[in-house]
Each structure stands twice: as structure tokens, then as C-alpha cells.
Structure 1
């Protein structure tokens, strides 16, 4: 299996700083090509949210650079190893960001969605309300939002439609740096050929519907890096035209 990757971020219409951070890269390993992607949405006073999200992206990039080669050298990936590594990484990042925030007198933190694609498997970790999607002949959300309104939807208290208009939709139940006891969500499965895997912050999908995302980012529209970048930026611009107030970020992977 081969991969093409792309991504883009935008400060948006209102905010003075871009507190989103992301990275997506193809990696050569003894087990063949892999892709690591990460998207984080920072929050906090001044530009501190930017620091929080960039810190988590940096910490995971260090894992890719230092730890992943040791794992792939054995030509076998153990899901438990990935999960334990990422859980320990999140705990360490949580403690570091929380301590720094207390020193500065600000509550700062970040969401996280990270994904590793191998030649046959995918691994995802999620904290907060950034999301991962799989697009084939339909769009499927791979993560669950850790927000108050998402919990109420799962509990049957409100509908998905009511949640979209709920003024509490930004209230997070989990965030790195702001939640003492984190419960990251882990997902794993098989990689699908001729698919698009997409990670995004909430600013990318507040005012753009999933069917609109599918229309722009489905595999038939994402055939090379230039098209991928253009289509992602097209949706970012659509968000801005519809007066999205948040930072806007998306990373995408095309399998073939």
C-alpha cells in the first residue's frame, strides 16, 4: 500500500493567534511505508493554547523519531505496545502542560487526535473533540467527541441535531493539561485501500456538514497531493465564508 498526505491550517476570521497544531508525514520503515498524523486544538489565555498544542505535537513527533524505529525494527507491531506508549506520552504531556499553566496563572490545554497507519492496520488515540474520519464510498467518523453534548447524545438526552445547535457544544470533558485524570480513547482496525483518512479540529466542521466534507474529500477527488491541498483549502475557505470563528485545521491521507 502507498500513501499521499496533505494538510492545511488557518487562523480563521476572528482569533488573533492560531492555537491549532498539526503534522502528517509518510515514514519509511522495515515494515514498509507508514503514515503518522496528528491534529491538536489548543486552548488558553493569550497564546498559551498554541504552546499546549505545539507541545503535544512535538512530543508525539519525538516518539515517531525515537521510538517507532525500535518498534518497526522487530518487523512486528503490537497494539498493546502502541497503546501503552501513547498513554504514557499523554500522561507526561498532561503533567507538563498543567504544571506550566499553573506557573503562568492560566488554565491551558489541548485536544488531540493522532493516527498511525501501517501497511495493514490503523491505530488512533483521541482526547477531546478533534476527530478522525474514514472516507470510502461514504464518510464514517472513527472517534467519539469527549464533550458534554456528545455525552448527552450518547445518553439519549438530546439528538445529534440538537447537539449541533447547543451553546454548550464546546464544553470539553477531557483535555490535555486541564483534566487531572485523562481517559484517552483508543481505536484500532484495518487500513482500507483507496480510502481517505482525515483528521480535523472542530473549527473545520462546525458550519460545514459531513456530506459536504465527503463531497470535497472523497477518494475520487483526492488523487494527488495538489488536489488534496486544494480541496482541503477549499473547505477551509467555505468555513470562513460561513463565518466560522475558530481556527481551522485538517490533515488527510490517501491510500492506494
Structure 2
């Protein structure tokens, strides 16, 4: 091999090794990014919003028992027709009626074991039918009116009342804003105590937003109505507390 050819070959080999080394170094930089410099602090923020419910849902129903399944179902159908008619006549704002349950099942009687004999099979003595409807309305002050109209028309079961918000998303966002503000206040307080200041926010992680729905049991409704005689059913909506949690990581200035 001529000297000039050997020199050219060595130059190509050295160039290839240099390129591979540079590429490998670049790949390492992408895989292992540089760590944040300075003091890093992580704080928790819990925000809340308290609001008066502006939407409610009451579940009312009719149940009946008869010798035959057909008669039990007919009794329930007739009573529920009257209940729906009278509730619709109230012309409630935001009214939405939804059937939430229909059932029909036999009622059994356990027969005693004969002396010295085998246990006897239970026998059907009647049938029980039921129909429940969920009534949603956007005026919580009229919940008692719905219950009174339904029971007067033939409803004999009330499964409870739920209070909620029409615009739940807006309440959740307000709770998140409050959580961010409280987390930042914590970070600033820690920084000031150390004689430092917050340079920048590195990360915010949402921990979830909770909007509870407060139910009032049907037994309480019937008890209150019985105590009030001819007066309307008293209903207190109370307030709904929407909470939000988050974690905030900040870097302190040197």
C-alpha cells in the first residue's frame, strides 16, 4: 500500500471514531437532562368553595301488595299515574322526571316443619309491586312542595333528597384557583423564612376535586311531615363544600 493511501485510510477511520463519539455524547445529554439547580421546595395546597345548592332531586315511589301479580301491578300503575300528573302540574323549573326503578316479586310464607317430617317449601301468599321516579328541579325551596303533592296523590315511599349544583364545573375551577393561591402562599412563606424568594414554579400536580352530594333520607322526610300535621314538609338544603387538592414544586432564588 502506498504511503498516501495509508494516510487517507487512517484519516477516514479517525473521522468515523470522532463522529461516533460525538453522537454518543449527544444521546447521553438527551437521556440524562441536567438537574435543576438551587433549593427546591414542594408544598401542598387545599382549596375549597362553599355554595348554596341550586338543584335538588327527590326520589318518590309507590308500592302495593295484592293476591295476584296483575292486581299488585295495576294498583301501582294507577297510583303512579296520579303522582306524575300532580307533580307535572307544579310546573317546576328545570323539571326532569326519570323512572329509577320498577319491581314485582312474590311474597313468601315460611311453613313450619311437620313433626317427624321434612321441611316444607315456602308458599307464595301475595305479590308486591313498586315503581320509583326521580324528580329533578332547579328550585330547592320547592322540594317540600313536590313531596307533599306526591304523597297526597298516592306516593307511599320517599327514598330521599339530594342537593347539588347546576354549574358544578365552575365551582371546581374556583376551588382549584383557591388551592393554587394557598400553595403559593405556603411556598412564599417558606422562602421568606429562609431569607429567600421564589424564583419560579417548576411543577404543579392536581390531586383531585371533590364535590359531595348531600342526601336527606326518606324516613326523615316522613317523620318531619307527620310532626307538622297539615303544614308543608320542611326541607333544609344547607351548603355544598367543593374541595381541591394539588402539589406545587418551586425553586428558590439564590
TM-score (norm 1): 0.25
Structure number with greater Rg is 2
TM-score (norm 2): 0.26
Q: Which has the higher strand share?
A: 2
